[in-house]
Amino acid sequence: MHMRAYLLRKAVGMVVTVLLVSAISFFVLQVIPGDPAQVILGTEASPEALQDLRVQLGLDRPLRVRYWAWLKGLFRGNLGESLRYQRPVAELLWERLPVTFILSFAAVTLALTGALPMALLAARHAGSPLDLLVVLASQLGLALPPFWIGLLLIILFSLKLGWLPPGGYILPGDGAITALGYLILPSLALSLPLAAHLVWLLRQSILEVIERDFIRTARAKGLPENLIYCRHALRNALIPTMTVLGIHMGTLLGGSIIIEQVFSLPGLGRLVLFAVYNRDWPLLQGGVVFMATAVVLVNFFTDLVYGFLDPRISVTDN
């Protein structure tokens, strides 16, 4: 019963959040100067052509009317039509999803597989040269901007070694192995800063947890040190890490504009960026709703994972 009430409360909260975000993004886009018809027609447009296009795009209707129409559409599962592409927004988002989805998951998986052992090793040998090296590497990873890492990776693996393509993308249906080749470098570029953040955080958490009473108890019971680190300390240290991972995952699902730009990938980030440039408000609204939904869903699942990692945290608690 408690669980059901919790889920209901969460669901309502999520819907309210998404609606608020959509309203804010809608009105902000209306406040900033610039007219979609002007951007579409550019410096060659005659006033008549501009006015005709405004009417065609529905820009002559009052703001509230447009927002209300969009909202009604949303509840019917219709995100409207993009002004620039003149195609359904849902279709455009759906097309871009595979790239962003694969990229996000690959980046998180790579980051986790790298970060977990490194953080454990560093914490286990805290203060040693190995620890120092890991800490330094993670600081470096945090400091380097992803687009620069991306460029370095392209120079090394494409230009010098010739192992991987320097950006671009093909659909997995056109050859899974080749498609994979296109995604390795961008995933790596995305995962490095994330891995650096996770290593830094995880090492810190483990060092804190290792001082706690239950670890002392475990030691008193005579459990081997490696087991204490891997089972008891790591599991508890993962809780703050999950929060950070959740936030990153939410952001990644919204598409990474810079990495998509560097690697010429047709992901969600660039689609939404161009929507802002072109004042394509239905497309931007669709993108924002999608991203907001992704973030609240990921947060929700993160909450659920807390309970699994630490049974003392109950999802039904207030």
Partner 1 sequence: MGRLVRVVIVSLAVALLLSGVGCAKGRLVVGVPADVDGLDPHRTVAAATFQVVCNIYDTLVEVTPDGRLVPGLAASWEISPDGLQYTFTLHRGIKVHTGRELRGADVAASFRRILDPDTNHPRAADYRVIDSIETPDAETVIFHLKEKSPAFLSNLAMGWAAVVPPEAVGEAKFRPIGTGPFMFADWVPDSHLILRRFADYFRPREPLLEDVVFRVIPEPSVGIINLKTGAVDVLSWLAPQDVVGVKADPRTKVVESPMNGIYLLAMNNARPPLNDRRVRQAINLAIDKQAIVDGVHWGQGRVIGSHMPPVSPFYVDLTAMYPYDPEKARQLLTEAGYEQGLELSITLPQPYDFHIRNGEIIAQQLEKVGIRVRLEVMEWGNWLDRVYFGQDYQAATIGHTGRLDPDPFLNRYASDSRENYMNYQNPDYDELVELGGATLDMDERLRIYRRLQEILAEDAVAVYLMSPNLAVGMKANVSGWQIYPIDILNLRRVYKEE
Q: What is the binding site for partner 1 (CB under 8 A)?
A: 32-35, 38-50, 52-53, 56, 84-87, 92, 95, 151, 154-155, 158-159, 162, 165-169, 171, 261-266, 270-271, 274, 277-279
| Shortest separation between residue 92's beta carbon and partner 1, angstroms | 8
Per-residue DSSP letter, 81: B
Give dist(CA 62, CA 70) in Å, integer.
12
What SS3 state is found at 162?
coil
Query: Closest separation between CB of residue 150 and partner 1, Å?
Result: 9
Instruction: Considering only CA atoms, give the Rg of the chain.
Output: 24
CB 306 → partner 1: shortest distance, Å? 38
Element (H, E) at 41: helix 36-41
Q: How far is the CB of 174 from partner 1 (least distance, A)?
A: 10
Taking the complex as a whole, the smallest distance from the CB of residue 80 to partner 1 amounts, in Å, to 17
Q: Which is nearer to partner 1, 175 or 224 (CB)?
A: 175
47 or 222: CB nearest partner 1: 47
Q: Could you tell me which residues are beta bridge partners of residue 81?
A: 88
CA-wise closest residue to 74 among 3, 2, 19 = 19
Angstrom distances, CA of residue 28 to CA of 34, 39, 63, 282, 296: 12, 18, 12, 13, 21
Instruction: Estimate to the nearest angstrom the gap between the alpha carbon of 216 and the chain centroid.
Output: 38
Cβ distance to partner 1 smaller for residue 53 or 116 = 53
Q: Please identify, using beta-carbon distances, which residue of 40 and 315 lies nearer to partner 1.
A: 40
Q: Report the alpha-carbon angle 163-164-167, nearest 5.
A: 155
Rank residues 26 and 200 by Cβ distance to partner 1 and give the closer one: 26
Which amino acid is located at 57 in the chain? L
Shortest gap between Cβ of 55 and partner 1 (angstroms)?
10
> Among positive and negative, which fits the CA dihedral 157, 196, 117, 99?
negative
Q: Decide whether 264 or 314 has the Cβ nearer to partner 1.
A: 264
